[in-house]
Structure 1
Amino acid sequence: MKRTGIILAGAFALGLAVIYPGGYLPTAALAASATAQDEQTTVFDIENMTCALCPVTVKTAMEAVTGVEAVDVNFDKKNATVTFDPSVANVETIGIASTNAGYPAKARD
């Protein structure tokens, strides 16, 4: 019975996509395009990174902030490059997330 319900729901969703050409995919594509234009990238200097696991912890903490799109942590340079939506997140909140995880982060000017 469950399989029949799933098949019917899938067929219904596909039918809506055919009937309504402005369906979810174009809207999502437009939203992604708008987001890409509104992104901001900031480099943070990170303290206390001493082992190979430290960058993972910093990345996880920063990615947990709503609005953060990408985090690239460089262990050798002791920094993190963060791409985020400034209408949702800000530099201070991202730095605090890393600091609360034990790795104080300061945005470069």
Structure 2
Amino acid sequence: MKRLFASFTLAFLITVPAWAATKTVALSVPGMTCAACPITVKKALTKVEGVTKTEVSFEKREAIVIFDDTRTSVEVLIHATQNAGYPSTEVR
């Protein structure tokens, strides 16, 4: 019985990560007005749990964020930039 339970638990734990989906979102951040602004935006986004990678472009006034959609959402990312002083919107 213990082996059956252990096998079931192991099978469950192996399949759980398959439910998570990595997503990428582009955020428009028009309030970035100097070369230092992207540093603040990147720090704010990387502090969000579930964010795996962030690239911020001052020239494009844009942030590209790769995140785990089971741990965070686009709304949370937008809220993080806004709290840092840089309101953003999702680029569709």
The question of a shared fold, defined as TM-score above 0.5 by the shorter chain, is answered with yes
Task: For 2:25, give the aligned amino acid.
Answer: T
Indicate yes or no: 2:70 matched with 1:84: no
| Structure-to-structure mapping, 1:52-71, within 5 angstroms | 52-71=35-54
In structure 2, distance between residues paired with 1:62 and 1:74: 13
User: The residue matched to 1:88 in structure 2 has which SS?
Assistant: coil
More contact order relative to length (CA 8 Å, sep ≥ 6): 2
Q: How many residues align?
A: 77
Q: Which residue of 2 aligns with 1:74?
A: 57
Higher share in helix:
1
Task: For 2:67, give the aligned amino acid.
Answer: F
The gaps in structure 1 that reach 5 residues or longer are: 1-29
TM-score by length of 2: 0.77
The gaps in structure 2 that reach 5 residues or longer are: 1-13
Runs of 4+ in 1 over 6 A off after TM superposition: none
| Structure-to-structure mapping, 1:86-105, within 5 angstroms | 86-105=69-88
Cα displacement (A) at 1:47: 2.2
In structure 2, distance between residues paired with 1:82 and 1:62: 8
Q: Which residue of 1 aligns with 2:26?
A: 43
User: The residue matched to 2:32 in structure 1 has which SS?
Assistant: coil
TM-score by length of 1: 0.65
In structure 1, distance between residues paired with 2:25 and 2:89: 10
